[in-house]
Amino acid sequence: MKRERVNFDFSGCSVLVTGGTSGIGLQIASAYADSGAVVHITGRRPSGHDYDADLSRFVYHVYDAFDREAASRLASEIDSLDILINNAGAAFPRGVNEWEEEGFRDAIEVNLMSYFSVATALRDKLAHSQLEGGGSVIGIGSLTSFFGFEMVPGYGAAKGALVQLTKTLAVSWAKHGIRCNLIAAGNIETPMNADMTDEQFDKLYARLPIQRQGTPADIAGAALYLTSPLASYVTGQTLAVDGGYTIAMYM
């Protein structure tokens, strides 16, 4: 029996997706635009025309996580906001080994401090959202939110901290009508994972109940649900979108 696809309607909503120029961020931004929202995205280049992807359907803002004033400038450029997708992040953000103090600090700055700075700068605008179920903040976590990964101690520490920060923001901001949730992305088909070897894929699939690599669309679907009225009683939660990786022993 063929089931009808669920269609979300975000007509008239204002959405911000940080790091929305490629990969998961671009897919999420596109999903909201397809659902009728006005979508703002951020990137580090001077213009949205400086990317290979066609970003013409979005409102582009320059944002650099290493710039301490960037979050307040970003907030001043957006008149109203219903949904914040705090997606921007990277391992080895300036190419420095994360086992060196500089590299560790860089990873914390980009993946944790930036999340906090953007969310707090935009809290008051989210609090004025008229979206059914209230304004929403969605963070993008990772399997390193749950597991140790030797190569990226800083990235992993930041992604693990987002689980707790999501709970704290959810408790603190509920009185402002804002819900906060985290999506822990599994191994997703993005440029960040493009260099995986066959051996690494074999190890991944040995543990995956759902025998495929995830796609950015899988993460976008979770974001649409968590920010919709269907999830109006859901806050402070971490949703693993990982093909079952976190629930399975090696099969």
Catalytic residues: 155
Tokens of 239: 């949703």
**19, burial (CB in 10 Å: exposed 0-12, middle 13-18, buried 19+):** buried
Amino acid occupying residue 148: G
- Order of strands across the sheet with 59-62? 59-62, 38-43, 14-17, 83-86, 135-142, 178-185, 238-241
Amino acid occupying residue 112: L
Q: Closest Cα partner for 182 from 239, 247, 103, 122?
A: 239
**How far apart are alpha carbons 15 and 18 in whole angstroms?**
10
181, β-bridge pairs: 138
